[in-house]
Amino acid sequence: SQTIHQWPATLVQPVGSPLSLECTVEGTSNPNLYWYRQAAGRGLQLLFYSVGIGQISSEVPQNLSASRPQDRQFILSSKKLLLSDSGFYLCAWSKLAGSTGELFFGEGSRLTVL
Amino acid sequence: GNSVTQMEGPVTLSEEAFLTINCTYTATGYPSLFWYVQYPGEGLQLLLKATKADDKGSNKGFEATYRKETTSFHLEKGSVQVSDSAVYFCALYGNKLVFGAGTILRVKS
């Protein structure tokens, strides 16, 4: 069966510090991978998606970046965090090209920027 | 572009009450429709889906019917439990997945 893991689960970082959130998927090959952010009291915002190694599409301009160094690994990074980066970050994967719209989500990473 | 509108919450119900969470959408073509659920402190998981008009998705006592004439996909459950307390997201898929803002459901015992 397929599984998806994110870490760390909780992170408290000062403004201006770097960020690295990691996500890995097991039990499937060539997944589409996604990073979403869920700000407090708001819905889900798609940040990045990837259809293959080294292929990253950005949905919104921001000081975050994403990388996919391996088929089943997706990393969310920042060189300098802002207060507005606080939120709940969710990694997700889908089969094929997301053709069914069904996503499988990780447990989430809660980031607090102070 | 495609969009999803959900009723604002929070929705607070007593155990065994009837639940309706409204969802309407705007889309070109014939999207697939979904309800996802997020339990406290967790990621989202798919609750149910419908891929064409008049389809009814169902799971865990929840139901939703794809109504093209009213562009709606309302979530219903006949008798809610405390364990149903969560955030519910309506979503549509045309060429990408678009989520609604989410509706918080609180069920009191």
pLDDT tens digit string along A8-48?
Answer: 999 999 999 999 999 999 999 899 999 999 877 667 889 99
**Average pLDDT of chain A, as a whole number:** 91
Q: What is the pLDDT of residue A108?
A: 93
* Range B15-32 burial, b when 16+ CB lie within 10 A, else e: eeeebebebbbebeeebb
**pLDDT range class, residue B95, cuts 50, 70, 90:** confident
- For B57-85, the pLDDT digits (tens) are 999 999 999 999 999 999 999 999 999 99
Is the Cβ pair A98, B100 closer than 8 Å? no
Is the Cβ pair B96, A98 closer than 8 Å? yes
Q: Could you tell me if A74 and A15 are in contact, meaning their C-beta atoms sit under 8 angstroms apart?
A: no
Cβ neighbours of B93 in A, within 8 Å: 98, 100-101
Is the Cβ pair B49, A101 closer than 8 Å? yes
Residue among A49, A10, A57, A8 at smallest CA distance from A31: A49
Residue in B closest to A108 by C-alpha: B43
Residue B36: Cβ-neighbour burial (10 angstroms; 0-12, 13-18, 19+)? buried
- In this structure, are strands A109-113 and A87-94 parallel, antiparallel, or unpaired? antiparallel
